[in-house]
Chain A
Amino acid sequence: MVQYPSIDWLAISPLVILLGGTLLVLVVGALTKVWPRGLYAVSTAALSAAALVVEMVLWNRVGHEGPVSIINDALAIDRFTLFVWIGVTIATGLVSLSTADYLRREDLEGPETYTMYVCAAIGAMIMAASNDMVVLFLGLETLSIALYVLAASHRRRVDSQESGLKYFVLGGFASAFFLYGIALVYGAVGTTNIARAGQLLSQQVFVDGDDALLLAGVALLMVGLAFKVAAVPFHFWTPDVYQGAPTPSTSFMASVGKFAAFAAMLRVLTTALGARADDWRPVVWVLAVASVVVGSVLAVVQSDVKRMLAYSSIGHAGFILIGVEAAGHAGDQDGIPSSLLYLLLYSVLVIGTFTVVTLVTRSGDRASDIGSFRGLGKERPLLALAMTVFLLAQAGMPVTSGFIAKFSVIKAAADNESYAVAIIAMVASVVSAFLYLRIMISMWMSDAESGDEAREKVAVPWTAGVVVLASVVFTLVAGVFPGWLIDATRDALVVVR
């Protein structure tokens, strides 16, 4: 007789709601005529909102009953998981809304793009919740394959097809590394369960190079995860893919993709390999420093805004890696909370930024060079103002959420006496401020050039307007009153072990 595992339906209901809802939208959408303007997006956002409500209920439940691992220890439901779930769900809703008029403008209207968003979000949520490497790998693949398709989804732009193929080939390669890493770690530890691997490794004593297999596995796992978070030197795909992909898909990659990959990285490194932190911490240190420096310096020399933001996202990944590095010090209480905080704040920021970029690239999604922003301050002052807020926040300006994010990771590094990385990060942050200033100058201070009148006007549909407004409000509120968010991230320290 097969022993069926007991299933905690409430705990997996956010996933069930999202999957069931999006399949319903897909099937009904395929059988009916094109829905009225924006309805696909609004229904997807409504699904996200429904999932968000359940996640809030779960957040309270975990607060009362403590973290649990469900369905034969495959998924871990703790506040770490739920924090990422909440972030991913919010990001999915926002990106769906910002996609609504984009698809209409580019004549690509249909429900499939939203299904891809939601399926990718489910993959991301599984990655964050996975308590087993096999489940983690499946979540990673669900997320990645949906992202490859999204990158290639603009059928009329060759750039989009090219970026999809590049991402697919390199991403498949990285997944293979990751899978091999899982196999070697399994060989060394004897289990794919993350919490159990952590327990075993904390008791096991390796003698005489017996741990070479484990270390090789950890190295391969790091390659796979560093590729997904776009850390230097595994970042080469990022500029091309970010530039070529449809702009809303780029914002989805930069928010949900990073959130999931970092969540997986944090769980694997701190829970499964926490006992071996001295082995992986130097690797993360190098990745962090290389990403901050290369991301900031190369961002400055770009002339295409989407490429600039791609390099800046590499730099931001470096900052989050500083938090991951801090989490590798014994007895650290700041690393995981600061990384999670950075991820949430950056996701909202990057969605806001790319929503403005989506509007500015105009029909055809091609005008992403910095000249396209010329005169935006005169033409659409409110939109330019919102973009200014996002750029200042990304630069780490006080009163915005970006300052809180950068401050928290650098504080975590300094508390663990990683002064070198803290100083390098601050210098790089100053360098990258130059890039954000360049876009601002182009928006507000550049003189109009001949031919500017002939350009298409920048239209602001209400769905994109809502996303921009929500992102601005969140950026400022989180920048002025960060206390409640910091408290929430502190709760995420109690995980399934």
Chain B
Amino acid sequence: MELVVFVIAAAMVIVGALGVILRPNPVHAALSLVLTLFGVAVHFVALEAHFLAAVQVIVYAGAIVVLFLFVIMLLGVDRTEDISIEPFKVQRPMALVVGVGVIGLVTAAVSSSRDAIGRGNGLEIPTVTGDNDSNVRQIARSVFGDYVVAFELTSVLLVVAVVGTVMLTRRIKTGKGES
């Protein structure tokens, strides 16, 4: 049963990810992303991380993708990019070789040392209790306890993002400089 769920969810993730990079229409690409994010949410459920699964669906599959669609619509869906022009001829075959090589190496590394993962080291897997709220409670403990610095830093990151967006998109005065 677990394996079946895993295979289906993994297939959703991979098909969605391929769709994001292969669909010529940006709206379809954004919608493929929903499939990927939903597949990840299924994985979270399988791992009994129900809270994360809900957040994944609500925030990522919901809000973020809608935001992407907004941006795509604002910029114009019908604009196409001609990507057949290639300044460096060797670039694409090389990218393919290097990409496959990196994937191969990382896969080989993970599979050859899979026994070592989490063995006799600092990894502490919290026990899952039958309590339905345990997930939320554990996340709250992590966020406001162990990772409070990271949590607060995220707010600095958001400030940078907001100020940066305003800086780069605000209309510029037509003053002495030419535009």
8 Å CB contacts to A: which residues of B106-141?
A: 106, 108-110, 112-118, 120-124, 140-141
Chain A's nearest CB lies how many Å from the CB of B22?
A: 19
Known: A5-B145, A74-B147, A216-B105. A145 touches B161 (CB 8 A): yes
CB of B168 within 8 Å of the partner chain: yes
For B54, list chain A residues within 8 Å (CB): none
Which residues does chain B contribute within 8 Å of A148, judged by CB atoms? 164
Asked if B156 is at the interface of the complex by the 8 Å CB criterion, the answer is yes
Closest-by-CB residue of A relative to B164 is: A149
Residue of B nearest to A3 (CB): B145
The answer to whether B160 and A139 touch across the interface, beta carbons within 8 angstroms, is no
Contacts of B175 in A (CB 8 A): 107
**Bound-complex Cα distance A149 to B128 (A):** 43
Contact call A75/B109, Cβ cutoff below 8 A:
no
Could you tell me the distance in whole angstroms from the C-beta of B29 to the nearest C-beta in chain A? Answer: 17
Chain A nearest Cβ from B36, distance in angstroms? 15
Given contacts A116-B167, A132-B150, A213-B116, whether A146 and B160 have CB atoms under 8 Å apart is: yes
B150 touching A211, Cβ below 8 Å: no
Residue A2 contacts which of B114, B123, B144 (CB distance < 8 angstroms)?
B144
Residue ID in chain B nearest A111 by CB atoms: B163
Residues of A within 8 A of B78 (CB): none
* Contact assessment for A145 and B146 in the assembled complex, using a CB-CB cutoff below 8 Å: no
Interface flag for B153 (CB, 8 Å): yes
**B159 is an interface residue with CB less than 8 A from chain A:** yes
- Does B84 sit at the interface, judged by CB under 8 A? no
Q: Does B157 have its Cβ within 8 Å of any Cβ on chain A?
A: yes
Whether the Cβ atoms of A26 and B154 lie closer than 8 Å is: no
State the CA gap A116–B161 with chains docked (Å).
10
Q: Which residues of B contact A156 (CB under 8 A)?
A: 172, 177-179
Quick one: which of A2, A119, A210 contacts B156, CB cutoff 8 A? A119
Is the pair B122, A191 in contact by a Cβ cutoff of 8 Å? yes
Q: Judge whether B148 and A145 touch: CB under 8 Å.
A: no
- B149 contacts the other chain (Cβ, under 8 Å)? yes
Known: A142-B157, A188-B117, A190-B122. A212 touches B144 (CB 8 A): no
Smallest CB separation, A110 vs chain B (Å): 8
Pair A210/B141 contact, Cβ less than 8 Å: no
Nearest CB of chain B from residue A290's CB, rounded to whole Å: 18
Q: Looking across the interface, which residue of chain B has its beta carbon closest to that of A72?
A: B146
Contact indicator A19/B163 (Cβ below 8 Å): no
Output the nearest chain B residue to A197 by Cβ-Cβ distance.
Answer: B122
Pick the contact of B168: A2, A152, A187 (CB < 8 A).
A152
Whether B164 lies near A71 (C-beta < 8 A) is no
Contact in complex: A142, B160 (CB < 8 Å):
yes
Given contacts A191-B122, A364-B177, are A3 and B163 in contact (CB under 8 A)? no
Using Cβ atoms and an 8 Å threshold, which residues of chain A touch B105? 216
By the criterion CB–CB under 8 Å, are A184 and B146 in contact? no
Residues of A within 8 A of B94 (CB): none
- A26 CB contacts on chain B under 8 angstroms: 163
B163 close to A115 (CB less than 8 A): yes
Contacts A2-B144, A74-B150, A106-B177 hold; do A145 and B106 have CB atoms under 8 A apart?
no
Asked whether A135 is an interface residue with its Cβ less than 8 Å from the other chain, the reply is yes
Distance in angstroms between the alpha carbons of A188 and B117 in the assembled complex: 5
Q: How far is the CA of A206 from the CA of B172 in the complex (A)?
A: 59
Cα(A138)–Cα(B152), bound, Å: 10
A-contact 0/1 string along B80-115, CB 8 Å cutoff: 000000000000000000000000011011101111
Q: Does A243 contact B (CB under 8 A)?
A: no
User: Which of B149, B164, B166, B168 is A74 in contact with, Cβ under 8 Å?
Assistant: B149
Q: Which residues of B contact A4 (CB under 8 A)?
A: 144-145, 148
Chain B contacts of A141 at CB under 8 A? Answer: 157
A to B CB contacts below 8 Å, 22 in the list: A3-B145, A5-B145, A74-B149, A106-B177, A112-B167, A113-B167, A122-B156, A141-B157, A145-B164, A146-B164, A148-B164, A149-B167, A184-B110, A187-B110, A187-B117, A191-B123, A197-B122, A211-B116, A212-B112, A212-B113, A213-B112, A364-B177
Across the A-B interface, give the 7 residue pairs with the lowest CB-CB distance, nearest first: A190-B123, A149-B164, A191-B122, A216-B109, A190-B121, A74-B149, A210-B116
Beyond the given A116-B160, A119-B159, A215-B109, could you list 18 further A-B residue pairs with CB under 8 A, ordered by the A residue number?
A2-B144, A4-B145, A71-B148, A72-B148, A74-B149, A75-B149, A112-B166, A135-B149, A135-B150, A145-B157, A149-B160, A184-B106, A189-B121, A204-B121, A211-B113, A212-B112, A214-B113, A364-B177
